[in-house]
Structure 1
């Protein structure tokens, strides 16, 4: 219970600090986020990461990478992602982005039932430049982003997480920009979400609500995206030496 309290307090502190740095131009918008996240174990230490996400009127992303499992509790991944983001042109998301990325994921049990997951992700964002807020041109800009995500997951029924058990997760991620092209918008966005999920052998389904606090293109403008999420997480093992337990592949895969 103390860990859950500290986790929620941490999120609220960041949101409060962010609110104090912004002004009055606030917009609320509904959104839907569909995602598919997969992990394919090809050896005892290596797995292939792939995921697809689509948020209408916001972004589409395909991300791939190779993961190295240092220990059952620590995994590192590096890869590349391609995005199309708003604005739309002829009905399609038109702004392109190339994104080399890497991350470290740490997970450990809290008591007998809960699992705590912490992720540090780095994105190198190479994006088409917008003029006047919504006009694309052939120029590109690049900057860095650091992301810190924490997640607490525990079973709704029974004494532990596992197959054929529903679960509940509390999550928060804060995203910071930095680089020569970042002048004022160092705080990029905050994502807080609550999910209910169900785990099958090699598969989890998650449904929930996310509040995305997104910094606008000019100082003082922010948007709150009230987002319904539906995510599918899929874990496969094609290695010669099958892993006895693929649960970590399911528990620690987040967008």
Structure 2
């Protein structure tokens, strides 16, 4: 029943992400800012032993698909495997954001971030399911500001993968992938964007080997800015490489 409810929420978000905004901001005026972006990403979870590992991640995010800078994100972390289907991560991220869109920031600004994460893996028949729960402590220095502002944010992502053939996803096979992730801000500096953003995604993937896969997909990202008035509607091309190395085999 838990998996069925999760799938229903994912399907609703993919079909109409705006439904997630109606309750929170139905009485507020909205300005919609439409953008076309491209995100080019690498993710790796590398095992050092049966329990311990490291996370590595680089994302190059571009405005106008590839022409202009949007964000650079570098993230790393320490993984601890509680069970074969549950992993904890403690990590750090650096993000540099550039002005883009019709309502841009006043200039380029940095963010330093610490995060804690629990990721659960499961399945429902042929469907692979991943639940990711993440807490973030963020230090953001706005353009022309002399000090960082501290922010808190919680995130939840449900991702589903479906192999084209067979009951499990094997090397050399194509698959479909979809996810929805919701972001919620909290704390004294949250301002008006308690609802921070939602990301709904669908993609075609190819499993290269037991530790590597690629995905080519479309992301609909809705971002509420801190003033609670401007909502970005970002149509985004996503190109992702997942490459997990297992150094524990040589220990």
| TM score, norm. by length of structure 1 | 0.85
Match of 1:54 among 47, 51, 60: 60
Change (3 A) 1:83 1:10: closer
Q: Does 2:101 align with 1:98?
A: no
Residue 138 of structure 1 is aligned with which of 140, 146, 168?
Answer: 146
Gaps of 5+ in 2: 63-68, 101-106
CA deviations over 1:57-82 (Å, ceiling 9, x no partner): 32111100010011111100001111
Aligned partner (choices 212, 233, 236) of residue 224 of structure 1:
233
Picking from 8, 11, 23, the partner of 2:11 is 8
| Contact 2:191 2:227 survives alignment (8 Å) | no
Larger strand proportion of the pair: 1
User: What TM-score do the two structures reach when normalised by structure 2?
Assistant: 0.86
CA distance in structure 2 between the partners assigned to 1:53 and 1:100 by the alignment: 17
Partner of residue 71, structure 1? 83
Equivalent residue pairs, number? 232
Q: CA 1:16–1:101 in 2, change beyond 3 Å: closer, same or farther?
A: same
In the alignment, structure 1 segments of 5+ residues that lack a partner are: 131-135, 243-255
**Which of 24, 28, 31 does residue 25 from structure 1 map onto?**
31
Shift of 1:224: 0.4
Cα–Cα, structure 1 residues 30 and 186, in superposed 2: closer, same or farther, change >3 Å? same
Give the drift of 1:94. 2.7
Once the two structures are superposed, residues 155-190 of structure 1 have per-residue CA deviations (whole angstroms, 9 ceiling, x without a partner) of 023332121111101100000011111122100000
C-alpha offsets along residues 80-131 of structure 1, whole Å, 9 cap, x if unaligned? 111111238xxxx8311100111000111101x111111101111101024x
Partner of 2:131: 118
Instruction: Give RMSD over aligned pairs.
Output: 2.1
